[in-house]
Amino acid sequence: QVRLVDSGGGLVQAGGSLRLSCAASGLTFSRYTMGWFRQAPGKEREFVAAETWTGTRAYTESVKGRFTISRDNVQKTVYLQMNSLKPEDTAVYYCAVTSTSGLYDCWGQGTQVTVSS
């Protein structure tokens, strides 16, 4: 089975940076998209960023210009570089990968990002 392990979260002050990592194992197909989502207390999980197998990137409006997603297709690892962090970025961040259906149906365990004001 596919497993995702995400890491790199922590506590930072506003304006600081963090880099999240997500390592995938068990992937047997190449045409997949890896993405990052986040969920704050009392809110639904929301899309943050994604990169397709071709390298096309997408971001939610609130993180454009601050976050950068990248991937290593050989190591099956995706990264999220987060700069100029804001308190509203505080959430549990989850990486995810699409199945052959194209849906995000495999998720990491989540890593906590806390940004203090």
pLDDT in tens, 74-116: 888 999 999 999 999 999 999 999 988 889 989 999 999 999 9
8 Å CB contact between 94 and 36: yes
Distances (CA, A) of 57 to 1, 12, 113, 114: 26, 26, 22, 25
Residue 36: Cβ within 10 Å count:
26
Instruction: Please state the φ and ψ torsions of residue 109, each to the nearest 5 degrees.
Output: -80, -15
pLDDT in tens, 35-89: 999 999 999 999 999 999 899 999 999 999 999 999 887 888 999 999 999 999 9
CA-wise closest residue to 12 among 88, 87, 78, 95? 87
